[in-house]
């Protein structure tokens, strides 16, 4: 396992210095909630932890690294388990193998039941047990209420880390049972250095971070999706021309998110602020405030249903034409 990025390491040290059997790590996406949650769990379970975290050498650390620690329960949606390389429960894996259903995007009731069972078992290695819930906002009402019961009556050696990118969606009763930790934003230099360790060229790191609004995980995802920061820079003016090629090959969800960033920046500029995701020089003249606000509203509605577009190609065309008219509205 790589050593964590500098801003995560600092937060880990801070959390380990405090007592608490249930943490809620909260903040917008892309700041490293999952990495911090897992590092915290790994440190709690480690045989020889230091103030800075797990040793990385012991049998416990090894078991976490190979994703087979008997005292660690990862409670995540199946899509996230698969993406991050965690094994699914036997029954769930069988259902997916037999194509009985698609991997769930929510934390399933079955997985929660397994977690409750896990909570009631005795620890296998004698250093307590940890349940990691990520993203915690993907619990439905049933799973959230089940978790709440376990949080209210925790077994002595059981600890929780809930990591969320939308903590306002959690039940207030769950939030109040946890110690809250707000994720720190990395400094530009730390984030750029970390991106370079992931294979990003130094010259591109700053542009990727800008496109991601300063969130390093999002910048890395953008890079790994093969997006070119140079293409990002020319996107606003291409859209103002109505050039549909600007978004060719983009997933609709990704396109909507890019358009929301552009709309955000133009609204910021219109009200005398600075753009956040694009360089000022790359932006076309902002359209009218009314047109931009209307566009922002339309994009928010589209974002709700974008996971299941009827026809991705048609949707991109519609998005480009909507962008063009907003961008060419007279201020």
Question: Can you tell me the distance from the alpha carbon of 324 to that of 237, in angstroms, rounded to the nearest whole number?
Answer: 10
Cβ neighbours of residue 172 closer than 8 Å, sequence gap 6 or more: none
Cβ neighbours of residue 190 closer than 8 Å, sequence gap 6 or more: 5, 6, 7
Would you count residue 312 as binding Zn ion (CB under 5 A)?
no
Strands 129-133 and 72-75: what pairing?
parallel
Would you count residue 40 as binding Zn ion (CB under 5 A)?
no
Would you count residue 61 as binding Zn ion (CB under 5 A)?
yes
Would you count residue 54 as binding Zn ion (CB under 5 A)?
yes
The enclosing H or E element of 152 equals helix 141-152
* Out of 9, 58, 269, 289, the residue judged to bind Zn ion by CB under 5 A: 58
Q: Which of 8, 162 has the CB closer to Zn ion?
A: 8
Stretch that binds Zn ion, among 28-36, 48-56, 223-231, 278-286 (CB under 5 A): 48-56
Question: Can you tell me the distance from the alpha carbon of 52 to that of 40, in angstroms, rounded to the nearest whole number?
Answer: 10
The enclosing H or E element of 75 equals strand 72-75
Stretch that binds Zn ion, among 18-26, 49-57, 277-285, 297-305 (CB under 5 A): 49-57
Would you count residue 184 as binding Zn ion (CB under 5 A)?
no
Would you count residue 55 as binding Zn ion (CB under 5 A)?
yes
Q: Which of 56, 103 has the CB closer to Zn ion?
A: 56
Return the closest-CA partner of residue 159 out of 242, 305, 33, 37: 37
- The vertex-228 CA angle with 224 and 229, nearest 5°, equals 110
- Return the SS3 of 133: strand
Q: Which of 42, 215 has the CB closer to Zn ion?
A: 42
Q: Which of 54, 200 has the CB closer to Zn ion?
A: 54
Look at phi and psi of residue 224 and say left if phi exceeds 0, alpha if psi is from -120 to 50, else beta.
Answer: alpha
* Out of 37, 38, 46, 64, the residue judged to bind Zn ion by CB under 5 A: 46
Per CB under 5 A, contacts with Zn ion among 240-299 are none
User: How many residues sit in the footprint of Zn ion (CB under 5 A)?
Assistant: 5
Number of neighbouring beta carbons within 10 Å of residue 151: 20
Q: Which of 37, 61 has the CB closer to Zn ion?
A: 61
At closest approach, how far in Å is the CB of 62 from Zn ion?
A: 8
Structure tokens at 175: 């939030």
Q: Which of 53, 236 has the CB closer to Zn ion?
A: 53
At closest approach, how far in Å is the CB of 56 from Zn ion?
A: 6
Q: Are the beta carbons of 128 and 157 closer than 8 angstroms?
A: yes
Question: Can you tell me the distance from the alpha carbon of 30 to that of 217, in angstroms, rounded to the nearest whole number?
Answer: 4
At closest approach, how far in Å is the CB of 48 from Zn ion?
A: 5
Per CB under 5 A, contacts with Zn ion among 123-182 are none
At closest approach, how far in Å is the CB of 69 from Zn ion?
A: 11
Summarize as ranges the residues that interact with Zn ion (CB under 5 A): 46, 54-55, 58, 61
């Amino acid at each position: 396992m790589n050593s964590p990025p500098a801003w995560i390491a600092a937060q880990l040290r801070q959390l380990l210095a405090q007592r608490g059997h249930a943490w809620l790590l909260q903040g917008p996406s892309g700041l490293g909630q999952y990495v911090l949650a897992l590092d915290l769990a790994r440190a709690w379970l480690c045989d020889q932890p230091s103030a800075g975290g797990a040793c990385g050498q012991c049998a416990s650390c090894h078991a976490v690294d190979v994703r087979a620690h008997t005292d660690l329960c990862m409670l995540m949606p199946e899509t996230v388990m698969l993406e991050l390389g965690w094994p699914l429960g036997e029954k769930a894996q069988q259902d997916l193998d037999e194509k009985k259903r698609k991997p769930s995007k929510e934390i399933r009731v079955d997985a929660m039941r397994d977690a409750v069972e896990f909570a009631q078992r005795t620890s296998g290695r004698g250093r307590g047990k940890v349940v990691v819930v990520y993203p915690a906002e993907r619990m439905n009402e049933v799973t959230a209420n089940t978790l709440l019961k376990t949080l209210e009556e925790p077994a002595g050696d059981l600890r929780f880390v809930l990591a969320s990118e939308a903590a306002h969606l959690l039940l207030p009763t769950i939030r109040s049972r946890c110690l809250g930790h707000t994720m720190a934003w990395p400094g530009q230099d730390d984030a750029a250095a970390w991106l370079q360790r992931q294979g990003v060229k130094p010259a591109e790191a700053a542009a990727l971070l800008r496109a991601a609004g300063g969130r390093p995980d999002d910048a890395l995802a953008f890079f790994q999706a093969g997006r070119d920061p140079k293409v990002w820079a020319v996107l606003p003016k291409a859209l103002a021309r109505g050039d549909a090629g600007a978004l060719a090959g983009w997933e609709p969800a990704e396109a909507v998110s890019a358009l929301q960033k552009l709309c955000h920046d133009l609204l910021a500029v219109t009200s005398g602020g600075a753009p956040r995701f694009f360089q000022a020089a790359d932006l076309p003249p902002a359209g009218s405030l009314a047109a931009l606000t209307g566009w922002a509203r339309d994009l928010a509605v589209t974002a709700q249903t974008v996971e299941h577009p009827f026809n991705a190609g048609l949707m991109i065309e519609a998005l480009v034409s909507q962008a063009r008219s907003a961008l060419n509205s007279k201020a």
